[in-house]
Each structure stands twice: as C-alpha cells, then as structure tokens.
Structure 1
Amino acid sequence: MEELAVAAETVGYQPLSLNIKTWAEEDRPREKLLLKGKAALSDAELIAILIGSGTPKLTAVDVGKIILAAVGNDLNELAKLSVKDLTKHPGIGEAKAISIVSALELGRRRKETVAAAKTRITCSTDIYNYIKPQLLDLPHEEFWVILLNRANVVMRKESISIGGVAGTVADPKIIFKKALEQLASSIILVHNHPSGNIKPSAADIALTKKMKEAGQFLDLPILDHIIFTDNDYYSFADEGVL
C-alpha cells in the first residue's frame, strides 16, 4: 500500500480516499457521461471508464490523473506510451494498459479515415496534414511515399521502410517500382524524425538528389520531400533545394 502512495506523490497528486461508488451519481464517470454527455468528462474520467477500477487506495479517476500527470497532461505524449510503460503506474495491469493503448489507436485511425477521402495536394501543409495519422507519435523512423495523378490528387500512400530511432532505409528501386505499378504521375517523399529536429541530414539531402535525378529520367518527378515531426516539418520544395 505504501508503494501506491509513493507513486502518487512522485507526480504531485494527492489521491482521494473515497471509492467512486460513494460519489454522487452525477459525478461518477459512467453516469456523468450518460447524464451530461461525453464532452463533460475530463481526460482522467475518460481513462477511468477505460480501466474500470482503481486500487484499494486510489479510485479509477485517481489512477487516470496520475497517468496524465506523468506525461504532463499531454494526450499526444500519452499516445506514445507502450503497454509496458503504462503498467508501471499503480493499478494498471496489462489488460488495463491494453485498453488505453487500443482507445488511443482508435483515435489515430479515426484521423486516418477522415484523411482517406480524395485529397488534392496544393502545398507542403497539405502533405503534412495528409500523412500525419501515419507518422504522429512514432518513436522510430518510417519512410513513406505519396503517389499522385496528373491533377495532383492522391492515388495512394505507401510505407517503404521502418527503421530505428536514428534512421531508416529508403530504396529508390522499391519507390519507383510502386509508382510505376500504380501509373502515378508524380511522387512525394516523406519520412519522420522522432527527435523533433526538422533539419535534413546529409543522407536525406543525398537521397533527395538521387531520387530527383532518377525521377527526371523516368518522367516521374519528385514534387517534394517532407521531414515530419509531431509539431513541425521541413519541405525541400519550400526551401528551394529540390
């Protein structure tokens, strides 16, 4: 029991001593959702519904507050946590951690579904917003291509490679093979930097130059290369280096 109290104190939160069942009905997370609607619930209350129960010393809402406090009350940071990360918190076993991870993944997929409608690319911001559901919150690097028709409407997006924290491999032969198979008219390159640094590396610059030259030969122009981070991006086209 002492360990639970210590865990709560480490994030600066003093838990309530009351069990949720003793609260007024309109203050219990499930009942509150039914009475007042989902928008009335705090993030901690929504987490409480997901995990269902707390511990002998902490209500489910208490546990939700502790989890949020540990990530600075930032849901984007919470989405980066693994099942293993979540089980380090008091009252969170594997099953509860899986529930939280699953709910956040559904949120990510909802964004992806919205972006799935036919999208016309007119600027680098369009690219960033279109690929965001795939690259947001990733702890490792991934390389994607976006294939466009002659009207700059997205035909499809393709994952090329998944790497580690510091890099990933992008094979030009694979990229152009996918583009030719789909009869694409142009290509956009995208990869993420989990570090948050948008500055292109020497390898990024070399690959972009190589892809541009090959694209000119195959009549498959590279329209842009975007370096994606959770809060910003770098566009080779906008910077005039493509």
Structure 2
Amino acid sequence: MNMHIEEKALGIKSWSPEDRPREKLILKGRSSLSDAELIAILLGSGTTTLSAVDLAKKILLSADNSLHRLAHLTIKDLVKIKGIGEAKAITIIAALELGRRRKNLDADEKPKITSSKDAFDVLKSELLDIPHEEFWIVLVNRANIVLKKQRISIGGVAGTVADPKIIFKLALDELASGIILAHNHPSGNLSASVADHSLTKKLKEGAKLLDIQILDHLIIANQRYYSFADEGVL
C-alpha cells in the first residue's frame, strides 16, 4: 500500500499540469524547462519508482550534471543506468547529435576569422565530444573569410597523422591564401607535443613555397584550446 502511494507521488501525471514537462513547454515555452525536464520529454516515461524527470536527473548526475559530459557517453554507458534501455539511450544520443550538428550549421554569411577564438568557434562542433583524435584544416581567403573546413585524418586515442600533400592540394583547389590547422586531444591535455611542433614547422615551410600562410594551429581539448599563434610558437 505504501509503495503504491509512493509511486503515485512520483508519477508525473499526479503533478500540476504546469509542472509536467510537456505541458510546461506548451504553457511557458521551451526556455522555462530545466535540462532534466527536457531529457524527461525525450525519455517519455520513467520507471515504477522514478518519474521521467527523476530518471533524467539520475542520467545527468552520472555525467556530473554536465550536458557536455553527457554528450561523451555511449549507448553502452547509458544502459548501465537502471531504467535506461537501448531505445531511451539511442533517443538521448540522437538528440545530442542534432544539437551538435545545429552548432555546425554555417550562417548565410561565411564566418571571418580574426582570432584564435573565431577559429575555435568554427571548429569546436567537429572536434568536441569525440573519443579519438582527428586532424582538420580551415581554409581562408586573403580577407580571412572561411572558404572551407575539411577533416584530413582520423586517428586513435593517442594520435593522428596529417599528410602535407593532401592539405596543400585542398588549399590549392580552393585557391586559399591561409590555412588554420587543428586537432583534438581526447585526453584533455592541452600541451603541444614534439610531433605537433615538428608538423607545424614542416607545413609552415612548405606553405611558403606556395605563397600560402599557416595562420594558426589549434589543439582542442574539451571546451578549451591551445593556439600556436597566441603562444608565439608558430
């Protein structure tokens, strides 16, 4: 009997309409909902002892209440949480991926890069939330307007390889005047390795022969980045 009362108290249907996530979104707008309430809408239902909102709070707690960390979790990670099956896990991952892709949509006017922060903003949607290293380039014209961004290679957890021939071919094909190099460190370490410095120097010397500038090399780790240009080591 007591358990029946507890379950009823936890059920979203027993809440005031303006406190239920779906109804709250309709009545007050999407910005009024907490992260847990938005995730609860994705879940659709909770368990026999947890409402969808409480289950969503449990999911967030497993990611230290960080949407950024939640985006790193895999289906295998999510299904370890009691009450989360494969279908719910897939729904959460799909929603977070849509959010990541939305960030990646270019505005009608192509962005202009005037600082390392601008370059980071252009690249972060590609290099955040992935468990392996990738090497990307951004090609710009003489006015530093972005012409194209392109992934060059995919590596493992510890490193990736960037082929200068591929990089310079892309730059010549786009008639680029400048190149911004970038790769991520899944470990979160922002330090540039000896190999990072060596590759940057090699590409800078090769670019001079083609009248192309290497404008920067970013190392991206989580929400932070290291800029060779800002540090004066380019």
Tell me if TM exceeds 0.5. yes
Residue 222 (str. 1) matches residue 214 (str. 2):
yes
1:1-242 to structure 2, matched below 5 A, reads 17-114=9-106, 117-242=109-234
Runs of 4+ in 1 over 4 A off after TM superposition: none
Moved more, 153-162 or 52-61: 52-61
Between the aligned partners of 2:200 and 2:206, the Cα distance in structure 1 is 10
SS in 2 for 1:194: coil
Between the aligned partners of 2:211 and 2:24, the Cα distance in structure 1 is 59
Q: Which residue of 1 aligns with 2:4?
A: none
Between the aligned partners of 1:146 and 1:116, the Cα distance in structure 2 is 18
Structure 2 residues without counterparts, runs of 5 or longer: 1-6
Cα offsets for 1:162-209 (capped at 9, x unmatched): 111111111111111111111111111011111221110011011001
C-alpha displacement of 1:150: 1.4
Structure 1 residues without counterparts, runs of 5 or longer: 1-14
Between the aligned partners of 1:226 and 1:109, the Cα distance in structure 2 is 21
Q: TM-score, normalised by structure 2?
A: 0.92
C-alpha displacement of 1:233: 1.5
Cα offsets for 1:186-235 (capped at 9, x unmatched): 11101111122111001101100110111111222211111112232111
C-alpha displacement of 1:117: 3.6
Q: TM-score, normalised by structure 1?
A: 0.89
**Cα contact 1:50–1:99 (8 A) shared by 2:** yes
Between the aligned partners of 1:151 and 1:219, the Cα distance in structure 2 is 15
Let me know the Cα RMSD of the aligned residues.
1.6
Between the aligned partners of 2:157 and 2:34, the Cα distance in structure 1 is 33
**Cα contact 2:8–2:14 (8 A) shared by 1:** no
Between the aligned partners of 1:196 and 1:95, the Cα distance in structure 2 is 30
